[in-house]
Amino acid sequence: MIPPVSRRNPGGRRSAVLQQKMQNAFKSWRTTLLQEDKSNLNKMEAIKKRTILAAKNKLWEKHLDTLDVGNASKFWKFSKAMMNGRKDYTSAPLKKPTAN
């Protein structure tokens, strides 16, 4: 199963600082309702969205690296289930963990 992405802090310390800046931008826009403040808020939301998507993509790539391609039928069954949005992809063909 794919590990969930923490919605509170997906990007670490940098994300926490970004979240604080976004909250400040939102408060500023709500009090003034100026277009400049709204533009700043939109910019912060775009950065937040990119940060979250980057964290999700990183976790997804890490998960895909653990799939065992040697078991082709299980691999394709899992891939089709993921692409079709079904929730029955719990039987992912994972590799056995190796000691590093």
What's the pLDDT at 83? 74
| Per-domain boundaries in the chain | 13-65, 68-100
Could you tell me how many residues make up the chain? 100
56/31: higher pLDDT: 31
Residue pLDDT, tens place only, 42-71 = 999 998 889 888 888 888 888 777 776 677
Does 3 score more than 50 pLDDT? no
Q: Count Cα atoms within 13 angstroms, Cβ side, for 30.
A: 6
Single-letter amino acid code for the residue at 6: S
Report residue 22 CA to chain centroid gap.
Answer: 18
What's the pLDDT at 26? 93
Burial of 79 per CB tally in 10 Å (0-12, 13-18, 19+): middle
